[in-house]
A and B are shown apart, each in its own frame.
Chain A
Amino acid sequence: MDSIRLRSLPHLLLALFLTFAAVGSASAQEPAAGAVGQAPAVSKEGVTPGATAGAAPAAAAGATTGDAAAIAAGDALFKGNCAQCHAINDVVVGPALAGIAKRRPMSWLIPWIRNSSKVVASGDEYAVKIFNQYQKQQMPSFQLTDAEITSIVSYITAEEGKSAGAPGAATGIKAADGTETPGTAAADGGSSQTMDILLIVLVVVLLVLIVTLVIIANIMKDVLRGRKDLDGRDVELLDQRFDFSKIYKSNVVRGIVATLFVLVVLYQSLQGVMAIGIQQGYQPTQPIAFSHKLHAGEHQINCAYCHTSVYKSKSANIPSANICMNCHSQIKTESPEIKKIYRAIERKQPIQWVRIHNLPDLAYFNHAQHTQVGGIECQTCHGPIQNMEVVYQYSPLTMGWCINCHRETPLNTKGNAYYNNLVKLHETSNSAKPFTVSSNGGTECSKCHY
């Protein structure tokens, strides 16, 4: 019995070593992937703070302008009203809008946007052509003022100019996300890859060295054995064999192994316990197979179009069925998934989504503080949502994760008069360090717990 245990010890040792190595490398990769890797890969699409707040159209009605205010207003209006069906350079549901100002005059565009079916019914040639070309899909009517429509067109004109200059840069998501290998991610991974190759080369060199040495030693021994002029002591030295049993009979080795074993078990159980309640990667099946990839990714619908209160409230709110109906009263009405929404409305039974991001009640989190004030992209915490067919919890949502970000992230103080004096104070006293969230008290208890 005893011998069996002893014989298995080396195997156990090996297994432990491997476990250690695996755990170590896994945890080493985590922060690299979580904190640094993804942030730059996140898209710059849409989530302009304040865009939805009150974008008053500034353009004079009738003529498109290059006025920055008009373009900004148009940007907000475009994302709020048009982006779910149109893109500048791509055909989404409706046609690509690049060059629209050249194609059609404003006097045609305004009645078309207000009430396209009326224009089609009037027998306008171009309108009928477009209508038939796009599967007789009717464009909903929009109650926009002339000035608003003009500012949208100004925005489109400005955007098409940009995209011509730097292809792919303006449309955000497509360029930055993972569908085509993004340049940023590649560059980011570059340095670590060369490190890996270097390591592998080193290991191979070492292995070759060891093998060579063993071969040399064996050859030397054989040569010596061949010689007859050796005395007893030399023969003894030559025939000396290393007694491995001594190793596992040694109390020191046993002690070390036992301690290591206990430590590993403790570490593993601690890790297990700490993971309780952490739902990173939680991806439940939702009652309706809603695809963020389709809506936010392909159709580039602004997050705030559905999550209406993300810039103003503590919660980003899950859209109510009437928001779905803005489009789906017309689009894909035959889909079985969308019929579920109709059913919910008919029966007056709200849709019961499965909640993915669950913060404990004792922690207070406010979306507006992070999006509107902090200027954080949705994807920073929610991950590449535009690629998710089914949404999963991307971040661990642990306190450590929150605190870490608060320690590292510089405050978004630009253009915010709230911070003016604080920035001055910081610069005079402590300009070497970045002015982070935590240096403004962002890691204090009662910022989140009350």
Chain B
Amino acid sequence: MQESPKYWKGIEELESSPEFIKNAFNEFDYLPVSESHGSSDATVAPRRDFLKLMGFGIAAATLASCETPVRKAIPYLNKPQEVDPGIANFYASSYFNGSEYNSVLVKTREGRPIKLEGNPNSPVTRGGLSARAQASVLSLYDQSRLQNFTIKGKAAERAQVDREIMTKLAGTTGRIAIVSPTIISPSTKRAIAAFAGRYANTEHVQYDANSQSGILRANGGVLPSFDFSKADIIVSLAADFLGTWISPVEYAAQYITNRKVSADKKTMSRHYQFEPYFSLTGSNADVRVPVKPSEMGAITVELYNAIVGGGTASPRVAKAANDLKAHRGRSLVVSGSNSAAEQTLVAAINAALGNVGASVNTATPSMLRQGDDARMLRLIDDMNRGTVGAVIFYHANPAYDHPQADKVKSGLAKVPLTISFNEKADETGSLCTYGCPDHHYLESWNDFEPRRGSLSLAQPAISPLFATRQAQDSLLTWAGSNQSYYNFLRENWRGVLGAGNFQAAWDKAVHDGVATGTASPAPTPQMAPAMSVDQAVAAIASAPKPSGTELVLYEKVAIGNGCDANNPWLQELPDPVSKATWGNYVAVPRKMAEANKWEQGDVLKVTANGKAIELPVLVQPGQPAGSVSIAIGYGREKAGKVGNKVGANAYPLATVRDNALVYMTGVTLEKTGATSPIAQTQTHHTIMDRKSVVQESTLAKYIENPKEVTEYDKIATPEGLEKPNKVSLWQDYEYKNHHWGMAIDLNSCIGCGSCVVGCQVENNVAVVGKQEVINRREMHWLRIDRYYSSDASKKDFATKGKLDTYAAMEDPSENPSVIFQPMLCQHCNHAPCETVCPVLATTHSSEGLNQMTYNRCVGTRYCANNCPYKVRRFNWFSYYSNEKFEDVNGHMFTDLGRMVLNPDVTVRARGVMEKCSFCVQRIQLGKLEAKKEKRRPMDGEVVTACAQSCPTQAIVFGDLRDPNSRVAQIWKREDGERAFKVIEAINAQPNITYLTKIRNVETKEVRNA
């Protein structure tokens, strides 16, 4: 073995000097690492270590991600007998938010309320449900609810709060006031009485944010109940009875029974609406007359004179008056005014027409409005005078929703003891010393009597989420009673349910949610009306007439008086008429906007009574000339992160006259130069004479020949004009088992939006917020299209030229008629979307459904592009995790909020398309229930959420294969008469058929263009 020669690099190596050895293994004796880091700190990781660590980290992460995480299955410790995981339980309950009443069924899953449905047993709401009631389930999981008792805003022990309050109450010298909105619970009133029994100088003051104390005064302290189904002629003087006035769900159900037509029943009521702003009710009227706010009184007087006074009617009201006179005993006049004088005249008109006892019922009065403006105003004055010793706010928020909110705030500072039962530290609650938050209504026992003789119960559907206590329990505790409110309530009901087995009767009442009987004291003998007819006429004549522009304040269908402003579902529900979401605005007539050179979105400074707010302009066709309208309920300061600072608060613009609140006033408008875009879900206004989209006709034409009211598209073939389905590229499907279909009666649809929210709750539809609505990316699976009529039509082609005519057709009339059309996935049999999907993510089922498979979708959006109905919605963002949406869609971000999600429906990820599924989860459930019981599903057992929630049953869903189903009957009955498919000529063959709207107008001509 030969050894290789060894060479030395230098003399140092040969000598192996210590210095050489030290440096021998250090290739680079100088590295600029520490300098580049700017520090010689040893803790700073050098680059190589970083890379090593990163490499290791990535490898570890990859390995870890291959391992599926361990998931736990945690059963009940002691399973409640009635709860089975995976099966929904329904409990009857009642919703009442101080102004609107609904009898509901609460759908719970594993003990969590996830949806509300109408209670069909209720004689009042008859299974319908308003949008606000639908959405109220979300307020249960509202993060901004007070989670414990507070003293001066700081969390406190309940016992300590009770002790302090009871000591202070005992030592109170002045009056004790309990301030609440209308309370329709007989037992709550007794609890208040029990409290008043202990503290003698207690006064219960009720006031309504959108007050109706005028009608109470005019009718001697009772609010008559109305029955719109018994009226052939309905005249409404600014009463939005289908949207916001007193009991809209009840009235809508009554109203529509007399509006539905078929070949067998060719009659319908005629509805006149005189109003100072464009309301939901006005858009459903056969004859709508826009009237300036200050002239509403004069209109009432004219109508009174024409009917009772015997004088000749002025032309504005002549037709209405003649119709009313021709239908004595079968008509109804209602007024939404808060003026006792106007209501006195309306009562007199109804009496003269013989409607009392028929459509107007004073024997079983409505309890839904009991607010007394005068008492509230007196209380505010007394508070400022310092004569009030204690005040308890029970769901009342006058520091926000009273026109004299400033005086309320200053007065509160002078009251020694202030207590709030409000669920949140809202504008009023945060000014009170003690916060004793009430349970949410879904956590409470309670009873309600919306109409004398019709009782209903509320039962808890979930244990209290937070350390709250039911307000009635608080009152009873402070009154020194040991009884729980539940026992107190049961004791009260002993008298109602009569002799016999109380427990059985009580169980039945709790189960049904409703009971007949009354728990209220007998109605006080009618007080004399506040004024005589002559006094009323004089009062109206002497009322001040504002010169210049007039303002009227109104309530919106979704937001109402503002108590639910923190509900994102309601904020995003488009206004039925303007289709605006997320905020209020100044609705101005087109002429006024043109004259002042205001563009939509220009911010105006609105000044009235020395107070000013700034809001953007919205050009509203149908707004009476010389007037503007602004919605109340917006501009909350302390509602929660959804509702805060949305829009501006218009309550301060209301005035007080004659001890009553007046929601109209003279106003000055100035352009500020700023702009603020309005988030509208629909910005086109007319259908531009495209009859195939939506159709309407007149009753006269319908009576003449029902087969001529609908125009059917025909296509040209070599054999002449044919029905579009005669020529088809596609093979027809054969449906052997089920064929799900829908019928939507445009005559019954009032556009209230209950279905939109119902769909949103059922299908976990995300809320996207104002900016994304402006970007036209709202996610609603079901929208309600609103079309105005135009003055121009294709008949003008010859005279005005095509281009100009088309331009004119885009503009709505000054006072347009309106048609609503719910638009959702049409589940076409020849679906254009299905043929273009490159990954087969949207396919057709053997039951007629157009299926959307989220986990297969890659987001090309070809389907949305190819959809003629524009009903597909794309997930541009992860609405459940993207921080941009945390404010508006916050309920999908927290464990608390996620409790409201429907566990049977996937929350869709970013980048996939979604759309109406015909509530396939409900279809599957209905089929399974039938299979389990070895039978076919019954008609009405399988219904979509929209059909379920519709208060007017405009939407009917069912199996077209079942010849006896309601939907199959409608399809068969209306074929060739009112049934039409939207854009039939393209032969998509939808599974939804619409029924032509019929208007009961005098002419035969159809105005819609």
The interface of chain A, by Cβ under 8 A from chain B, is 276-277, 279, 282, 284, 308-309, 312-315, 317-323, 344-345, 348-355, 358, 361-362, 364, 366, 368-369, 372-373, 415-418, 422, 425, 440-441, 444-447, 449-450
A358 in contact with B71 given A312-B87, A350-B76, A372-B932 (CB within 8 Å): yes
Among A276, A344, A358, A447, the residue within 8 A (CB) of B77 is A344
Shortest C-beta distance, A403 to chain B (Å), equals 13
Instruction: Return chain B residues, CB-CB under 8 Å to A350.
Output: 74-77
Among B76, B843, B928, B931, the residue within 8 A (CB) of A445 is B843
B151 within 8 A of A: no
Shortest C-beta distance, B915 to chain A (Å), equals 12
Instruction: Return chain B residues, CB-CB under 8 Å to A362.
Output: 854-855, 906
Report how far A425 CA is from B738 CA in the complex, Å.
13
A-B contact pairs, 16 of them (CB 8 A): A276-B66, A277-B68, A308-B84, A312-B87, A315-B85, A320-B76, A322-B78, A354-B71, A354-B73, A358-B71, A369-B931, A373-B932, A441-B845, A445-B851, A450-B906, A450-B924
Closest 7 CB pairs of A and B: A314-B86, A313-B86, A441-B846, A446-B851, A320-B79, A320-B76, A445-B853
Report how far A418 CA is from B846 CA in the complex, Å.
16
Among A279, A364, A368, the residue within 8 A (CB) of B932 is A368
Known A-B contacts: A417-B934, A450-B917. Give 15 more (CB < 8 A).
A309-B85, A309-B86, A313-B86, A314-B904, A315-B86, A317-B85, A317-B86, A319-B75, A320-B79, A345-B78, A353-B74, A362-B855, A417-B935, A440-B846, A446-B920
B921 within 8 A of A: yes
Report how far A441 CA is from B253 CA in the complex, Å.
39
A351 in contact with B932 given A309-B85, A312-B84, A450-B905 (CB within 8 Å): no
Report how far A323 CA is from B935 CA in the complex, Å.
33
Closest to B80 in A: A320
Q: B898-932 vs A: 1/0 string, CB under 8 Å?
A: 00000011100000000001001100100110111
Q: B831-859 vs A: 1/0 string, CB under 8 Å?
A: 00000000000010111010111111000
CB <8 Å contact, B843 and A352: no
Shortest C-beta distance, B453 to chain A (Å), equals 39
A353 in contact with B79 given A277-B68, A372-B932 (CB within 8 Å): no
Report how far A276 CA is from B904 CA in the complex, Å.
25
A313 in contact with B736 given A319-B75, A354-B70 (CB within 8 Å): no
Instruction: Return chain A residues, CB-CB under 8 Å to B76.
Output: 320-321, 350
CB <8 Å contact, A284 and B70: yes
Instruction: Return chain A residues, CB-CB under 8 Å to B931.
Output: 369, 373, 416, 418
B385 within 8 A of A: no
Among B84, B843, B905, the residue within 8 A (CB) of A444 is B843
Shortest C-beta distance, A360 to chain B (Å), equals 8
Among B85, B843, B928, the residue within 8 A (CB) of A369 is B928
CB <8 Å contact, A449 and B84: no
Closest to B935 in A: A417
Closest to B75 in A: A318
Report how far A276 CA is from B931 CA in the complex, Å.
36
Shortest C-beta distance, A84 to chain B (Å), equals 18
A353 in contact with B920 given A322-B78, A368-B932, A446-B849 (CB within 8 Å): no
A449 in contact with B906 given A279-B68, A354-B73 (CB within 8 Å): yes
CB <8 Å contact, B854 and A352: no
Shortest C-beta distance, A325 to chain B (Å), equals 9
A309 in contact with B846 given A418-B934, A450-B906 (CB within 8 Å): no
Report how far A449 CA is from B855 CA in the complex, Å.
8
Shortest C-beta distance, B842 to chain A (Å), equals 9
CB <8 Å contact, B921 and A450: yes
CB <8 Å contact, B851 and A373: no
B72 within 8 A of A: yes
Instruction: Return chain B residues, CB-CB under 8 Å to A309.
Output: 84-87
B189 within 8 A of A: no
Instruction: Return chain A residues, CB-CB under 8 Å to B854.
Output: 362, 449
Report how far A323 CA is from B75 CA in the complex, Å.
11
Instruction: Return chain A residues, CB-CB under 8 Å to B927.
Output: 418
Report how far A444 CA is from B927 CA in the complex, Å.
15
Among A314, A317, A373, the residue within 8 A (CB) of B75 is A317
A352 in contact with B934 given A314-B86, A361-B906 (CB within 8 Å): no
Instruction: Return chain A residues, CB-CB under 8 Å to B849.
Output: 446
CB <8 Å contact, A355 and B87: no
Shortest C-beta distance, B290 to chain A (Å), equals 46
Interface residue ranges of B855-910 to A (CB < 8 Å): 855-856, 904-906
Interface residue ranges of B60-107 to A (CB < 8 Å): 66, 68, 70-79, 84-87
CB <8 Å contact, B921 and A366: no
B163 within 8 A of A: no
B201 within 8 A of A: no
Shortest C-beta distance, A66 to chain B (Å), equals 26
Shortest C-beta distance, B961 to chain A (Å), equals 9
Report how far A352 CA is from B75 CA in the complex, Å.
8
Instruction: Return chain B residues, CB-CB under 8 Å to A276.
Output: 66
Shortest C-beta distance, B758 to chain A (Å), equals 17
CB <8 Å contact, A321 and B845: no
Report how far A81 CA is from B175 CA in the complex, Å.
66
Report how far A422 CA is from B742 CA in the complex, Å.
23
B705 within 8 A of A: no
A358 in contact with B68 given A313-B84, A444-B843 (CB within 8 Å): yes
CB <8 Å contact, B84 and A441: no
CB <8 Å contact, B853 and A446: yes
Instruction: Return chain B residues, CB-CB under 8 Å to A352.
Output: 72-74
Among A355, A366, A441, the residue within 8 A (CB) of B737 is A441
Report how far A349 CA is from B736 CA in the complex, Å.
51
B1004 within 8 A of A: no
B936 within 8 A of A: yes
Interface residue ranges of B705-757 to A (CB < 8 Å): 736-737
Among A312, A315, A441, the residue within 8 A (CB) of B847 is A441
Report how far A80 CA is from B454 CA in the complex, Å.
45
Report how far A445 CA is from B855 CA in the complex, Å.
10
Shortest C-beta distance, B737 to chain A (Å), equals 6
Closest to B936 in A: A418
Instruction: Return chain B residues, CB-CB under 8 Å to A354.
Output: 70-73
Instruction: Return chain B residues, CB-CB under 8 Å to A345.
Output: 77-78
Instruction: Return chain A residues, CB-CB under 8 Å to B74.
Output: 350-353
Among B79, B86, B847, B936, the residue within 8 A (CB) of A417 is B936
Report how far A344 CA is from B76 CA in the complex, Å.
11
Report how far A343 CA is from B75 CA in the complex, Å.
15
Closest to A415 in B: B934
Closest to A347 in B: B77
Report how far A277 CA is from B72 CA in the complex, Å.
16
Residue picked from B86, B843, B847, most chain A C-beta under 10 Å: B86
A373 in contact with B928 given A353-B75, A354-B73, A440-B737 (CB within 8 Å): yes
Among A312, A315, A372, A445, the residue within 8 A (CB) of B856 is A445
Instruction: Return chain B residues, CB-CB under 8 Å to A314.
Output: 86-87, 904
Interface residue ranges of B523-540 to A (CB < 8 Å): none
CB <8 Å contact, B79 and A366: no
Residue picked from B71, B73, B917, most chain A C-beta under 10 Å: B73
CB <8 Å contact, B932 and A444: no
Report how far A315 CA is from B76 CA in the complex, Å.
14
Closest to A308 in B: B84
Closest to A345 in B: B77
Report how far A440 CA is from B738 CA in the complex, Å.
11
CB <8 Å contact, A355 and B906: no
A348 in contact with B77 given A315-B86, A416-B931, A418-B935 (CB within 8 Å): yes
CB <8 Å contact, B75 and A446: no
Instruction: Return chain A residues, CB-CB under 8 Å to B736.
Output: 422, 425
Shortest C-beta distance, A334 to chain B (Å), equals 22
Instruction: Return chain B residues, CB-CB under 8 Å to A361.
Output: 906
Instruction: Return chain A residues, CB-CB under 8 Å to B853.
Output: 445-446, 449
Report how far A402 CA is from B879 CA in the complex, Å.
31
Report how far A159 CA is from B621 CA in the complex, Å.
82
Report how far A381 CA is from B736 CA in the complex, Å.
29
